[in-house]
């Protein structure tokens, strides 16, 4: 049989593939050398592109860091978390614990992609432009996590004496990059991490943690 020839990539597809390669290279170099130690030239070399191409696409290192955050959080389907399937499952679950279980599973997928970049950025908060990137990320997290807490409060009730703002603070802390990286670096599997976090959040947030 005559082999089927694949269609050549369009210019847009080639540009998208190059952009993704640069982002993956940036994530690797940031992780290896930190934000300050990572040079745009090194990232370009890792990606196999001219440094001018990297600057033309992302303009500055802070913009590249922001793009790395966005790339990791949006995932392969290029959807913000509130539009990803796990978020709908979180908001429509039939019990508080199952709502948290859905949230934890989806959030863990995001953390697996973004946690290291987040750690790199938070180690460089002395850089004002990096601080702005981190602040934007935290603002978006608080908005999304606040929606989860509001659903838990309305449908299943929060633990006695716990207000929504404090519950959101707790959710941000427990479900953040630092906790994920600490436990996975201790050798915890994804399954163990998700089971522990679901149980911990249920006990910390819900009026009836067993349901």
In order along its 211 residues, the chain shows pLDDT tens digits of 555 556 677 888 899 999 999 999 999 999 999 999 999 999 999 999 999 999 999 999 999 999 999 999 999 889 999 999 999 999 999 999 999 999 999 999 999 999 999 999 999 999 999 999 999 999 999 999 999 999 999 999 999 999 999 999 999 999 999 999 999 999 999 999 999 999 999 999 999 998 7
Q: Does 51 lie in the same domain as 120?
A: no
List, in order, residues 6 or more apart from 115 with CB less than 8 Å away: 177, 180, 181
Please say which residue of 25, 42, 59 terminates a domain: 59
- pLDDT at residue 11, as a whole number: 84
19 and 70 belong to one structural domain: no
Q: What tokens were used for 86?
A: 């796990």
Alpha-helical (H) ranges within the chain are 11-37, 40-47, 51-58, 61-74, 85-92, 96-122, 128-155, 164-174, 177-185, 190-205
Q: Are 121 and 134 in contact (CB under 8 A)?
A: yes
**Same domain, yes or no, for 85 and 140?**
yes
Q: Please check whether residue 3 lies inside any domain of the structure.
A: no
Considering only the C-alpha atoms of the chain, give the largest distance between any 2 of them, rounded to a whole number of Å.
72
The label of the residue with tokens 């953390």 reads 111
**Angle, helix 164-174 to helix 190-205, in steps of 10 degrees:** 160
pLDDT (0 to 100) of residue 162: 97
Q: What is the CATH number of the domain that holds 23?
A: 1.10.10.60
Judge contact between 198 and 168, C-beta under 8 A: no
pLDDT at 5: 57
Residue 142: what pLDDT? 97
pLDDT value, residue 129: 96
Paired residues of 177 in beta bridges: none
76 and 153 belong to one structural domain = yes
- Residues 31 and 74 reside in one and the same domain: no
Say if residue 39 is in the same domain as residue 70.
no
Tokens at 9, concatenated: 């990539």
| Same structural domain, 54 and 68 | no
- pLDDT of amino acid 1: 52
pLDDT of residue 193: 98
pTM of the prediction? 0.90
Residue at 5 is within a domain: no
pLDDT at 3: 55
Write down the pLDDT at residue 205: 98
211 located within any domain:
no
Q: Tell me, yes or no, whether 75 and 173 share the same domain.
A: yes
Are residues 51 and 71 both part of a single domain? no
Is residue 1 in a domain? no
Domain of 28, in residue numbers = 11-59
- Domain tally for the chain? 2
């Amino acid at each position: 049989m005559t082999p089927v020839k694949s269609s050549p990539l369009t210019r847009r597809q080639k540009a998208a593939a190059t952009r993704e390669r640069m982002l993956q290279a940036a994530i690797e170099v940031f992780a290896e050398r930190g934000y300050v130690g990572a040079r745009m030239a090194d990232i370009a070399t890792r990606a196999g592109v001219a440094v001018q191409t990297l600057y033309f696409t992302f303009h500055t290192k802070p913009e590249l860091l922001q793009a790395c955050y966005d790339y990791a959080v949006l995932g392969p389907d290029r959807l913000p978390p509130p539009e990803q399937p796990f978020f709908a499952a979180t908001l429509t679950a039939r019990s508080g614990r199952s709502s948290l279980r859905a949230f934890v599973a989806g959030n863990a997928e995001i953390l697996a992609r973004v946690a290291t970049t987040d750690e790199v950025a938070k180690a460089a908060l002395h850089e004002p432009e990096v601080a702005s990137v981190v602040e934007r990320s935290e603002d978006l997290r608080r908005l999304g996590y606040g929606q989860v807490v509001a659903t838990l409060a309305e449908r299943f009730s929060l633990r006695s004496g716990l207000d929504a703002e404090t519950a959101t603070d707790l959710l941000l802390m427990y479900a953040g990059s630092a906790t994920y990286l600490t436990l996975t670096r201790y050798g915890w599997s994804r399954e163990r991490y998700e089971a522990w976090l679901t149980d911990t959040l249920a006990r910390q947030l819900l009026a009836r943690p067993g349901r």
